[in-house]
Amino acid sequence: MAYNDSNIFAKILRGEAPCVKVYEDDATLSFMDVMPQAEGHTLIIPKVAAEFIFDMTPDDYAALAKTTQKIAAAVKQAIGSPGLMIAQLNGAEAGQTVFHIHNHVIPRWDGIDMKLHARQLADIKVLEEQAARIRAAL
């Protein structure tokens, strides 16, 4: 499948769709997942048009990894979770629902199940508050 530039993340990158921004640099953008699986669920996307890990140059993937590491540390501090799950899905069969490569940073607590992915929209005011806490931890 060829990259479809009408996907929601491409629209966010072009400023055609809103997001609750956490961080941005020349190569990446991080924002809150609007259908979070846990409090503080944050996404990191590259600014290159790529569906899967296989579509990226090593340098582009390195930039995504570097930002993911930075965001993960800030999420852990801001949300106060003892653990984090970092996920990156390739293909519908793996659970990918937006076909622009992205990393999920999902806070985890022992004994607390994650919500199902892409099921329920969060309150934007709650996401904005979480994003402010994460930005303060950067």
Kindly state the average pLDDT of the residues 125-134: 98
Residues recognised as catalytic: 102
Kindly state the average pLDDT of the residues 43-64: 97
Q: What is the model's pTM?
A: 0.95
pLDDT at 1: 63
Q: Is the pLDDT of residue 116 over 70?
A: no
Q: How far apart are CA 99 and CA 82, in angstroms?
A: 30
DSSP letter for 91, please.
S
pLDDT digits (tens, 9 = 90+) for 77-98: 999 999 999 999 999 999 999 9
Q: How far apart are CA 137 and CA 132, in angstroms?
A: 9
Residue positions counted in the chain? 138
User: Taking all residues of the chain, what is their mean pLDDT, rounded to a whole number?
Assistant: 95
Domains of the chain (ranges, CATH numbers): 8-137 (3.30.428.10)
Return the CA Rg of the chain.
14
Copy the structure tokens of residue 99.
Answer: 């076909």
Kindly state the average pLDDT of the residues 126-135: 98
> Which element (helix H / strand E) includes 58?
helix 58-79
Copy the structure tokens of residue 14.
Answer: 């072009």
